[in-house]
Amino acid sequence: MSSAPKKSPVGKRQSPAVPPAGEDKQDSAAPRHLPVNRYAIYLTIAAGGCAADLVSKQLVFDWLGVAAPFVDPRDPANFGRWRGDARLDHLWWLWDERLGVQSSLNTGALFGMGAGGWPIFATLSLLALLGILTWLFVYRAAHDRWLTVALGCVTGGILGNLYDRLGLWPNAGLRPEYQHAVRDWILFVWPELKLRILNPWPNFNIADSLLVTGAIMLIVHAVVWREKEPKAERGKAETRLSKEIRISKHE
């Protein structure tokens, strides 16, 4: 039997009924544009997280001030400006000896590493933001709602700490080396565990919490969703094969 394509009654070749290998009709018909709600989800989480971080920092530092080692001693008025509530000594316990609010400044990154390297951290933050926006909205990763939420959290955390590293917050009267520091205020202690890192855990803020949340979500996505992808691809291949079999039976 000839394998040449059949001709129609008017002598024209009929187009193949089966899509070429590697193509899927449903995939080709998928919308190219991102849903508007993906932009809304991302911007709401990023802007809301950043705002919560910056407002909470300002409220805590206006209330508690900072400890004397952070203050520039050349002007005595600086100590009064950063004294805060004189009854609390820059610390207030929400749960005694467990969870508290304590103002602190971090000139480095995680666990204070890279102290004084704020220009490097600020540059890396800007590059990370550019990468996130490109991934989500140029390569359309925002079609995945989980990724959109995760990267919205990461963006909010980056923006909150980047604001501090650029020295945009009210920092007059502090030592010069702390004027580009990140403001931390959440204190966590667990004295029963004989781990030095938990007694206390290094102070952190809402931006750090957003970064950790986003990172955990990305790890979950990588572990869980990537394992499902091959199954989805097999399902598409089986669907295409069954279509080809049905069409061949009718020919």
What are the tens digits of pLDDT across the range 76-117? 999 999 999 999 999 999 999 899 999 999 999 877 777 889
pTM of structure: 0.78
Q: Cα 199 from chain centroid?
A: 28
| 207-243 exposure pattern, b = at least 16 Cβ within 10 A, e = fewer | bbbbbebbeebbeeeeeeeeeeeeeeeeeeeeebeee
| Annotated catalytic residue within 62, 75, 89, 208 | 208
Average pLDDT score over the chain: 85
Return the bridge partners of 71, or none.
Answer: 174
Active site residue 184: yes
Is residue 49 pLDDT above 50, yes or no? yes
Active site residue 208: yes
Residue 198 confidence class, pLDDT cut points 50, 70, 90: confident
Distance CA(190)–CA(201), nearest Å, equals 8
Q: What distance in Å separates the CA atoms of residue 203 and residue 106, rounded to the nearest whole number?
A: 9
Q: What is the pLDDT, as a whole number, of residue 33? A: 86
pLDDT in tens, 206-239: 999 999 999 999 999 999 875 455 555 555 656 6
Cα separation, 89 vs 63, in Å, equals 11
Contacts 24+ apart (CB under 8 A), 243-251: 243/18, 244/18, 247/17, 247/18
Contacts of 186 (CB under 8 A, 6+ apart): 99, 101, 203, 204, 205, 206, 209
Catalytic residue chosen out of the listed positions 24, 89, 164, 184: 184
**pLDDT tens digit string along 141-177?**
999 999 999 999 999 999 999 999 999 999 999 999 9
pLDDT, position 224:
87
